[in-house]
Structure 1
């Protein structure tokens, strides 16, 4: 996601040249975490949102015949070392002036260990935790629908794999399919090699969406609202509190407000990324260095950027999510092809990014993902339910399962005159999720929808 650069960046860039070494190249013990929540926004590690035993059963005589999903890559390393370098530079400068508090002396080794863990993975690449997330999603998919995967094996139905082509997405695909084959080795020969489709799964960067890229770069409403949010007094207050705990009074006072904010936001980026590297840097815990009330504020600033750049954004405008129509079209095309008998594919697995999941969530009307903000009332945690941790955590996923069966008549016998019917169930982060309110499920309070009803309520031809 595009990072908004503050004027304090100049100071942090200059301080990278500081040459005073921090003691203790790595952290030898885990820093105790302060009790309370952790705020990682879209960097939140994945957790399934429903237990396997809690799913609704399909209507009688219906069985799964096809599954497809869209999955964000799993937990990854930070995309570069810039935030870590910036934090270390300020710490080195403070150490040279004997201006680190007791707490401040403990931060440097933790940051160094985190950067070492990220470097061992490769900046921006899938971490060990991300591999585990993808494998777990795949295994639970098999356990939800054993009949489907037995049929895929029996019929030798291919499983298609499509990715954005970005390394962490390809690695996620490989981890996911590895999870499938560990659950059922007979699937190995049916899983096709991943193919790249950037128009489908990296559409936010493609030439056909130049208007969206121009929106990010130069839209005056976007620039104004993010500047207004960043300039809230709470930002400077939180930054002052963060630096006051790590640096002596004189050193902290010598930092401008912009410098304090730049440092604190870089620290938040490390704090929010640390859980994703729990395999490579298990002893890193930055909660003690960023109090919960301050972390929550910087999480809000991060969520605001995501909301306006890839979420529902401004009321009356579709620039941030209309481009996800290509992905919604593909979801429908695949279930329609399977139902129509023009495809024998058993499953389609897609691996992508938050910038694709967030706009798709708007088009699908997923819970907490759709409320846009009025131009004169900026997004806030008080007026909007959108949260990156819920909408697009690491390995966020949308799954459609297609069921085929013969509906039963009023006397309980098959209504054979109507032929085979197809029902769709949607899971969002593995939780059964209703389609938008204009769509009617086959049973009140249920999660199974007639495919023709979905086509109607989504205005499909």
Structure 2
């Protein structure tokens, strides 16, 4: 058994901790069998660290862009950024300066006159329509806000917002490297040399090369133009939800604190977001502080104190067994053969081993997944014809299984995948508590991180979709578990806490102030776990002291 605590999602404060090798036989898992050639092979990451095949990495893909008129806030954003110009904020503290990574993505966005709205349909949308099944894209799905602005609950009478904080994943980005594209192109070249491409297969190579060229020009792993827009639009919506708060922050010259993992795409996301915030409330100009890197808080999955988590990912036998069993289901080989049969002539397909077919199909699915995140940089790339929805859904399920067991609720009775997010939950509480007790002079705290942090935090807090670990002897499936990467941690996924203070009634100014907290998850009002009592039935507002009680912060 691997190192790891016992418990379940939605627990209180925690400690902390990465993924897989081990027996390929599935121990104690029902209903899973298939060809042994489907087990993962180890790869070497760009930083030289060995990683499993497609194992628990943030990719870049998802439903598509919306192309149209530039959002009205964009003009204000550009003027606000020009006015900011790296000046010092009024208190003399350093303020945010734009980086090369952000300007590269912004240039592509502005040159194309693009804005990516919250929906998924567009006349030029190359990777789906309004009815697109986001589950095909898993955690690489581009962001789509889940809240309805006209349906947010009003705060209870007498309460006003005094502080906000968020934890956000970076926006859409280029894939990490060219490995999957190179693998697909290699098989296509071999097929072309033997005149074994179908008409459909002959069209795939140029599409893949265009996608790789776009990613290379942007910089592998960097924030894309779509990612910039996701963050900017999210910030503008935040300001519109809380206009009085941001006016008060500006009037009181309170700090807007920005924290990141230090990874360029997270830093660029922070810059895009705060640029949007200043566009919405120009009075914030000069108040947004320069980003601070905090890897223990926002890149905890790679830190030494979580070595037991890395050990789990690399060597846990239960993890290796369940993933090998999931991969080995007959549907994997069937889907891979179907993909190959549509692109190659029968003789070439027959010459490919089942393992080669699966490797090719999964690499193609990774590219399929990456294309929407680069829809500004590679607008003519459309990989939908090369995977049927049924095949894409199966490979997305395999990816979701890796995410579920590597970063999500995972195994019932074990907390190894999410207890390390306790530092982030502690900080969420610490910031609202400091504001409530008068020791914190910040107006907002904005954090930018990765799926490796968002998914464990969602499991630790018991957020929707992250409440059910896999029962002993039963593997994760779409049929019996609600966890979906596209809902739990799409690109630019975010968790926001808003703090409200009660205003004393006339003649009762000496009474202690009551504080309420409202949570948004991907901009949708979201209840805290069931053991927390809201101020009224059906309300999304909770007393701060009640949250402290139900999360065990006494």
Q: 1:381 to 1:344 in 2, by over 3 A?
A: same
Cα distance in 2 for residues equivalent to 1:131 and 1:415:
47
Cα distance in 1 for residues equivalent to 2:407 and 2:40:
25
1:37 maps to 133
2:186 maps to 89
Cα distance in 1 for residues equivalent to 2:373 and 2:283:
32
Q: 1:58 to 1:113 in 2, by over 3 A?
A: same
The 8 Å contact of residues 247 and 281 in structure 2, kept in 1 or not, is answered as no
| TM-score in terms of structure 1 length | 0.92
* Alignment partner of 1:436 is 2:529: yes
Cα distance in 2 for residues equivalent to 1:30 and 1:357:
28
- CA shift at 1:119, angstroms? 1.0
- CA shift at 1:185, angstroms? 2.2
Equivalences for residues 63-74 of structure 1 within 5 A:
63-74=160-171
The 8 Å contact of residues 274 and 284 in structure 1, kept in 2 or not, is answered as yes
The 8 Å contact of residues 300 and 420 in structure 2, kept in 1 or not, is answered as yes
2:206 maps to 109
Secondary structure (helix, strand or coil) at the match of 1:103 reads: helix
Tell me which protein shows more helix as a share of its residues: 1
Secondary structure (helix, strand or coil) at the match of 1:48 reads: coil
2:107 maps to none
- CA shift at 1:182, angstroms? 1.5
Cα distance in 1 for residues equivalent to 2:537 and 2:133:
36
Q: 1:350 to 1:171 in 2, by over 3 A?
A: same
- CA shift at 1:418, angstroms? 3.8
Q: Which has the higher relative contact order, 1 or 2, with Cα contacts under 8 A spaced 6 or more apart?
A: 2
The total of aligned residue pairs comes to 439
Q: 1:186 to 1:33 in 2, by over 3 A?
A: closer
Secondary structure (helix, strand or coil) at the match of 1:236 reads: helix
Deviations 1:263-282 (CA, angstroms, capped at 9, x unpaired): 00000000111111111011
1:372 maps to 469
The 8 Å contact of residues 327 and 398 in structure 2, kept in 1 or not, is answered as yes
Secondary structure (helix, strand or coil) at the match of 2:446 reads: strand
* Alignment partner of 1:357 is 2:450: no
Equivalences for residues 193-232 of structure 1 within 5 A:
193-232=290-329
2:67 maps to none
- Gapped runs of 5+ residues in structure 2? 1-17, 22-36, 43-123
Cα distance in 1 for residues equivalent to 2:285 and 2:380:
36
Equivalences for residues 13-28 of structure 1 within 5 A:
none
- CA shift at 1:91, angstroms? 0.5
Q: 1:241 to 1:64 in 2, by over 3 A?
A: same
- CA shift at 1:32, angstroms? 8.9
Secondary structure (helix, strand or coil) at the match of 1:348 reads: strand
The 8 Å contact of residues 19 and 315 in structure 2, kept in 1 or not, is answered as no
* Alignment partner of 1:448 is 2:541: yes
Q: 1:89 to 1:316 in 2, by over 3 A?
A: same
Cα distance in 2 for residues equivalent to 1:42 and 1:340:
37
Task: Choose which of 54, 62, 65 in structure 1 pairs with 2:151.
Answer: 54
Cα distance in 1 for residues equivalent to 2:260 and 2:41:
34
- CA shift at 1:337, angstroms? 0.1
- Gapped runs of 5+ residues in structure 1? 11-28
2:516 maps to 423
